[in-house]
Amino acid sequence: MKEKNTTRDVYDAVADPTRRKILDLLANVAEMPLHELTVHFQIGRTAVSKHLTILKDAGLVISRKVGRETRYRLNAAPLQEIQDWVTYYTKFWNEKIMLLHQLLQEEEEMPKVSLDFQFNSSIERVWLALTDSKILAKWVMDNDFKPIVGHKFQFRTKPNKVWDGIVDSEVLVVDQPNKLSYTWITAGESTTVTWTLKEVDKTTHLHLEQTGFEKEGHAYHGAKQGWVLMGGKLEQVLTEL
């Protein structure tokens, strides 16, 4: 955007609605005397004249004498300064919107685990199974989970040759009993697990989404198979509550 060295303040001149209306009136005629401009406002001739002076100082209005009468006409050239300013920020935001669209498109293309479960248990009981550390240990892994946003915890199980058996997590969302979300960081993958609950006709519908996988590789398929197995364990745990 070009910087201009100028003493006039075009932005201040057009900031007032009365002055903008004067410009609109002058834009539709070749020129107009003060008394004809004044009839379009609920203010006196002196007040309109003061607004015209500000517009003249900004170079937006030019006047000329015709006998004893002063006529005014629009000079739109200084408005280019505002147009340049708006164009600069329009380009700025267009680039940001394009970047956001690209990011959203990339996110949609990334693989995610999406599973649905149904349980003949109340939504409160399913929520308890998702948030009570001791119950979680029965169908997921040992843990030190607490349903508090910002709480950092771990899921832990026996390590093997390719995995240390540790999942580092942080609670992101706790909306009892409708939504629970936490990070799931393990084996080089940083993902997010989100549980969404809804109860319909005494049946609790539980939806799982795990997002953030870089590719549809071993970690993705392992997570999908793992949650299917854990969903079966959860059903058994719910019958025992």
Residue 205 has pLDDT above 80, yes or no: yes
Residue 93 has pLDDT above 80, yes or no: yes
Average pLDDT of the residues of the chain: 91
Domain boundaries, the chain: 1-108, 110-240
The pLDDT, as a whole number, for residue 61 is 94
Residue 23 has pLDDT above 50, yes or no: yes
Residue 1 has pLDDT above 50, yes or no: no
* 87: confidence class by pLDDT, cuts 50, 70, 90: confident
Residue pair 14/82 in contact (Cβ under 8 Å)? The answer is yes
User: Count of alpha carbons within 13 Å of 132, Cβ hemisphere only?
Assistant: 14
pTM of the model: 0.57
Residue 236 has pLDDT above 60, yes or no: yes
The three-state secondary structure class of 213 is coil
* 6: confidence class by pLDDT, cuts 50, 70, 90: very low
All residues at 6 or more sequence positions from 65 whose CB lies less than 8 Å from its CB, including other chains = 71
> Can you tell me the mean pLDDT for 162-181?
96
* 2: confidence class by pLDDT, cuts 50, 70, 90: very low
Task: Give the CATH fold of the 110-240 domain.
Answer: Alpha-D-Glucose-1,6-Bisphosphate; Chain A, domain 4 (3.30.530)
> Can you tell me the mean pLDDT for 67-82?
91
DSSP state of 26: H
- With residue 126 as reference, give the H or E element that holds it: helix 123-131
Q: Dump pLDDT digits (tens) for 140-163.
A: 999 999 999 999 999 999 999 889
* 108: confidence class by pLDDT, cuts 50, 70, 90: low
> Can you tell me the mean pLDDT for 125-150?
98
The CATH architecture annotation of domain 1-108 reads Orthogonal Bundle (1.10)
Dihedral sign for Cα 91, 96, 99, 101, please: negative
- Considering the chain, what percentage of its residues have pLDDT values greater than 90? 72
Residue pair 220/212 in contact (Cβ under 8 Å)? The answer is no
The pLDDT, as a whole number, for residue 96 is 82
> Can you tell me the mean pLDDT for 65-86?
90
